Amino acid sequence: MLRRVWASSQFGLVVVIVLLGTVLTLFAGSHVDPRSGVEVNNFLNSYTLIQAATDASFFAIMAVGATIVIVSGGIDLSVGSVYALAGVLSAMALRNMGTSDPFFIVIAGAGLAVAIGVACGFVNGLMVVGLNVHPFIITLGTMWILRGLAFVTSHAESILLPQAVTQFAKASLGLAASLYPVPMLVMLAVTICGAIYLSRTVMGRHILAVGGNQEASRFAGLRINRIKIGVFVVSGLTAGIAAFMGASFYGSASCADATGYELYVIASAVVGGASLSGGKGSAINAMLGAVLIVLIRQSIRTLHFDQNYEWIIIGCAVIVAVVLDQASARFGAKRLAQMAGVRT
C-alpha cells in the first residue's frame, strides 16, 4: 500500500504543497481575531485556506479540460478568451431575462455559459481537424477572436449579474458567513469527473492512445478526428463552467476577465506532470498544480516578497517541471531497454 502511494504521480505534488504550506504556517505570523479574541495563524485558518482554494478553482477547472487536450497531443491557448466570452454573453442574456425565479436564473446562467463554452471548443476542434493546422496556431488565433467578440458585444462594459447567481456562488453551506466553499466544491467535482473520464472510460483511453502514438491509434481503427474535436469540446465545457462560477462569484462579467489565465492553466497542467508531447497527464495532478501555483502566489504576498517576482517563480516552476518530466521519461525508457536486454 505504501509503495503504491509512494509511486503515485500525485505523491510528489502533495509533498511539495504540504512543505510549502508548512513554511507559510511557520513564517506567516499571526493576528488576533476581533470577533473571538483568539490568536489565529495568518495562513493556517479556514478563511485563508478556502480563499486560496477559491482563487485556484477558476483556472483549476479549466486546467482539467486543458490537460485532456494536452494528453491528446494538442494545446488550447483560447481558454481564457472562451471564459470571457461565455461570461459576457451569459451575463447579457441573464440581464435581459424577464424572470425573477432564482432557480431558473441559476440554471439558465449555467446552461448558457456551458453551451457557449462547448460551442467555442467545437469550433476550435473543427478548425484544427478541418484546416489541418497545429492547435497552437488555431487556438492562438481564436484567443484573439473570442476576446475581441467579448469586447465588441459588451462594449467594454462590466455587466452585472442577477443577485440570485451571486448568492448561489457565495452560499456558505452552513459555514461562517465569510466562507464561500461552492467554487472549491465545483472544482473538486470537475476534477473527479475529469479523472474518471480520462482513466476509467473507453474514450479516455482512446485519448491517451492518440496522444501516445497517433499513427498506431489510426491503424488500430480509432477515429482520430472525432477524438481531437472531442477534447476541445471538453476544454470549452470546463471553460464555460469556470466562466459561470467566476462571473457569479464576483457578481459581474467583462471582456477583460481571465486575461492571462491560459498561462496559469497550461502551467497548472505542466506542473501537474502533463507531457506536452501527449500521452501523459492527470486531472487530479492538474488541480494540484493549480493549488501549488496559488500557494506560490500566496507565499509571495504572505511573506511580503516583491510581487514582481511572481511570474519569475512560476516560470521557473514550469521549466523545472518540464525538465523533470523529460528526465523521468528518459530514465523510464532506459530502464525498459535494460530490462529488454536482460530478458533477451
**Mean of all residue pLDDT scores within the chain:** 87
Mean pLDDT of 41-45: 84
Least confident of 24-38, 87-101, 287-301: 24-38
Dihedral sign from CA coordinates of 15, 17, 21, 23: positive
Burial class (CB in 10 A: 0-12, 13-18, 19+), 44: middle
Is 296 domain-assigned?
yes
CB 121 within 8 A of CB 233: yes
Is 86 domain-assigned?
yes
Residue 201 has pLDDT above 80, yes or no: yes
> Whose CA is closest to 121, among 240, 277, 263, 253?
240
* Amino acid in position 11: F
Under the banding of pLDDT at 50, 70 and 90, the label for residue 7 is low
Residue with the bigger pLDDT between 300 and 343: it is 300
CA–CA dist 281, 262 (Å, integer): 17
Is 189 domain-assigned?
yes
Under the banding of pLDDT at 50, 70 and 90, the label for residue 189 is very high
Is 25 domain-assigned?
no
Mean pLDDT of 132-156: 94
Using CA atoms, how far residue 183 sits from 188, 250, 335, in Å, is 9, 11, 42
pLDDT attached to residue 125: 96
pLDDT attached to residue 239: 97
Is 27 domain-assigned?
no
pLDDT attached to residue 336: 64
pLDDT attached to residue 126: 97
Is 12 domain-assigned?
no
Domain range for 281:
41-337
Total domains, the chain:
1
What pLDDT, in 10s, does the model give residues 67-89?
Answer: 999 999 999 999 999 999 999 99
Residue 344 has pLDDT above 60, yes or no: no
Under the banding of pLDDT at 50, 70 and 90, the label for residue 184 is very high
Is 4 domain-assigned?
no
What pLDDT, in 10s, does the model give residues 320-332?
Answer: 777 776 666 676 6
* CATH number of residue 204's parent domain: 1.10.3470
What pLDDT, in 10s, does the model give residues 208-228?
Answer: 999 989 989 988 889 999 999
Is 106 domain-assigned?
yes
Under the banding of pLDDT at 50, 70 and 90, the label for residue 299 is confident
